[in-house]
Structure 1
Amino acid sequence: MKKAGFFALAAITALVLTGCTDSDAPTSGDSGDGDSAGSADLIPVTVGVIPIADTAPIYVGDDQGFFEEEGIDLTIETATGGAAIVPAVVSGDYEFGFSNQLSLMVAADQGLDIKMVSAAVATTGDTSKDMGAVVTKPDSGIASPADLAGKTVSSNSVGNINDTAVRSVVDEAGADSSTIDFVEVPFPDAIAAVENDQVDAAFVVEPFVTAATEAGLEVVTYAYADFDPKLDIAAYFALSSVDADLLEKFQSAMQKSLEFADSNPDVVREIMGTYTKTDPAVLAEITLPTYPTEFDRASSEKLAAAAVEYGVLKAEPDFDNLLP
């Protein structure tokens, strides 16, 4: 029996969350056809994700049967960010979760016994067209990263990889990033927040980067790529005490999923239409990220150093324990 959580992003700006982070969270819909033969032998596994382009491989892998092949009966639940997913994994509601790398470093910094178990998504490294960007109105007066100083900038959560990357890029441009006011706005609401002057600029990821430019907003910086061309943006993680056999099965299924997704962009775009309400024309134009199967430790160490500099981390993590 195969399960998949297909949740909607209404009109690209309103996220409808049916997954949640407490123990009575509803599971996603069963995409199988009843009690199929052998389903009793599958291990039920719930994974918390954000419904964006970054997580397409796990949906692809579920659809392709890679998790069933490894003996996993997969349920996908959604949340707005790693700040909600991390506690759900720690509490045991989810066996695995998806989060940006810096949120996981912060969790480890706070003493949570977690570890990254699979690579997930990385920047394309293209500073002229990447999958994550800061966008603003054409008449905002913000033409370069330095112009973000003193402005209000939104992200789906604060104190994580997005504002750290932006701060680094702004400081590299010779401005003072400490004067930026970062506020939390979910990705689906960010375009409207900019258009309505609730914020001066917004950090968004695909499909919202393309949706923003289609709506007439302009890109200020592709901050991930500008920060580091090999930046690992997010990872799948679990408690350090996760069952070793289950971990091996999950890692094997994720490797197949990531490899397939990276080699089949059309399949990625198609499946994104099943868990987002994204206009097909937008899906055809979005910039897909890279889906690596291994971590780039150097970029992670660079991110951690920046996070320490900006007070997001007290100390750089022990990557020998945090990475697989």
Structure 2
Amino acid sequence: MTLNIGAATTRRRLLRLALGATVAGPLAASAGCSVLNGSSSPDGSGGSGGSAGLEKSKITVGILSSQGSAGAKLAEKFGYFAKQGLEVTIKPFTAGPQAVPALLGGELDFTVINYVSFFQAVAAKTLDAKVVVDGNAANENSVVVVAKPDSGIADPKDLVGKKVGIQAAQSVAELLVRATLKDHDVDPNSVHYLPVTFPNIPAAIAKGELDAGVEVEPFLTTAEQKQGLQPVLKIVTGATANLPQTGYIATTKFVNAHPKTVAAFQRAMIPAQTDAADRSKLSQVLPELSGVDQATASLLNIDTYPTSVNATQLQRVVTLLQNYGGMTAQLDVKDYVVSTPQA
């Protein structure tokens, strides 16, 4: 499966124009059918439009410095939270698992977390929580394997014996590589997986410490700018196409005690997720989230932003974990998803 990069000439020219852009300390992020079908107008003002009746109108939401948190920033920026009677404080975290203690301790009411970490914690019974809103899903261009242009890597079989950076052991990055190798009849254990974080992968490849690495935005674009790396292998395709990455969760205790607050949060997020698919609107929050300037942010490969939580799609994450060593527990995702009631 060779990644066709011949059509990327225009993008490379733009990259050269943005070459002077620097990363301003971005934080690494790493991932029945419940449909967000609460009645709402396109501007998110469905429902009462005020805090009357909400069990809790002042809430705190944990986010990551990644595209998966775009919805929360857009809901804040365009007033969707306020239209639902919510006064929201947004608190950034370096990684989703770091926010879990704050969620369990009541410091946070909702937080963004990657689905791999979420389901692993649920399986280990260290977290009793539910998915309230879907955050983002990866696509074939926003999560890829990168390498030097002369690496000789163009196909899954070319990774055999290679040192590949995968963010962390049993991370979604590792699972995606393993699944891609398996789908192409290559032994998933034939690769040397090294836990190097996304921000550090490009430099490690440039120094020869890695042969390749799984990369996400904004590090994918800045790796092209600074180290001259290029995408060489798609890993979000076929069986892993549009794989859900992150979601907003709340503890089961909070969900049960604050159903109206949860519903208001969901209604506010529907138009925000829709806005995230609009590059002109996303660009208003992307530089802050990604840690790069506006010129570089305009080049980032954009994820997909679902407006509903699809348990069938999320079950794919659990299956990926089960198939490639991330967990052995049998989880029915329907039990960990909050449905938005009809208005």
TM (norm. structure 2) is 0.76
Contact 1:135-1:217 at 8 Å conserved across structures: yes
What's the RMSD between the two structures over aligned residues?
A: 2.6
One of 51, 61, 64 as aligned partner of 1:50: 64
Paired with 2:242 and 2:97, the residues of 1 have a C-alpha distance of 24
Q: How does 1:104-183 map to 2 (within 5 A)?
A: 104-111=118-125, 112-124=127-139, 127=140, 130-183=141-194
Contact 1:143-1:220 at 8 Å conserved across structures: yes
- Structure 1 residues 298 and 106: CA distance shift in structure 2, 3 A: same
Contact 2:26-2:291 at 8 Å conserved across structures: no
Match of 1:3 in 2: none
Paired with 1:189 and 1:277, the residues of 2 have a C-alpha distance of 15
Which amino acid in structure 1 is aligned with residue 260 of structure 2?
D
- Structure 1 residues 45 and 190: CA distance shift in structure 2, 3 A: farther
Match of 1:7 in 2: none
Q: Deviations over 1:58-82 (max 9, x none)?
A: 1111111111222222222223322
Question: Structure 1 residue 276: deviation in Å?
Answer: 3.6
Contact 1:231-1:296 at 8 Å conserved across structures: no
Aligned-partner SS, 2:236 = helix
Match of 2:250 in 1: 238
Match of 1:25 in 2: none
Q: How many residues align?
A: 289
Contact 2:218-2:290 at 8 Å conserved across structures: no
- Structure 1 residues 173 and 151: CA distance shift in structure 2, 3 A: same
Question: Structure 1 residue 172: deviation in Å?
Answer: 1.4
Which amino acid in structure 2 is aligned with residue 148 of structure 1?
L
Which amino acid in structure 2 is aligned with residue 188 of structure 1?
P
Pair 1:71-2:85 in alignment: yes
Q: Deviations over 1:290-312 (max 9, x none)?
A: 11112343333233222112221
Q: Structure 1: where are the runs of 5+ without partners?
A: 1-9, 18-37
Contact 1:135-1:219 at 8 Å conserved across structures: yes
Contact 2:72-2:272 at 8 Å conserved across structures: yes
Paired with 1:156 and 1:77, the residues of 2 have a C-alpha distance of 23
Judge which range, 244-253 or 226-235, deviates more. 226-235
Question: Structure 1 residue 119: deviation in Å?
Answer: 0.9
Paired with 2:194 and 2:58, the residues of 1 have a C-alpha distance of 37
Paired with 1:87 and 1:151, the residues of 2 have a C-alpha distance of 37
Match of 2:303 in 1: 289
Question: Structure 1 residue 255: deviation in Å?
Answer: 1.4
Higher relative contact order (Cα pairs below 8 Å, separated by 6+ residues): 2
Question: Structure 1 residue 13: deviation in Å?
Answer: 7.3
Match of 1:268 in 2: 282
Question: Structure 1 residue 16: deviation in Å?
Answer: 6.1
Aligned-partner SS, 1:224 = coil
Match of 1:222 in 2: 234
Contact 1:83-1:157 at 8 Å conserved across structures: no
Paired with 2:303 and 2:87, the residues of 1 have a C-alpha distance of 27
Match of 1:255 in 2: 270
- Structure 1 residues 76 and 221: CA distance shift in structure 2, 3 A: farther
TM (norm. structure 1) is 0.80
Which amino acid in structure 2 is aligned with residue 233 of structure 1?
Q
Question: Structure 1 residue 113: deviation in Å?
Answer: 0.7
Paired with 1:273 and 1:87, the residues of 2 have a C-alpha distance of 28
Contact 1:146-1:171 at 8 Å conserved across structures: no
Paired with 1:52 and 1:305, the residues of 2 have a C-alpha distance of 24
Paired with 1:172 and 1:13, the residues of 2 have a C-alpha distance of 38
Q: Deviations over 1:84-143 (max 9, x none)?
A: 23333223332111122221111110112111111111134xx4xx21112112233322
Contact 1:232-1:295 at 8 Å conserved across structures: no
Paired with 1:296 and 1:187, the residues of 2 have a C-alpha distance of 28
- Structure 1 residues 277 and 308: CA distance shift in structure 2, 3 A: closer
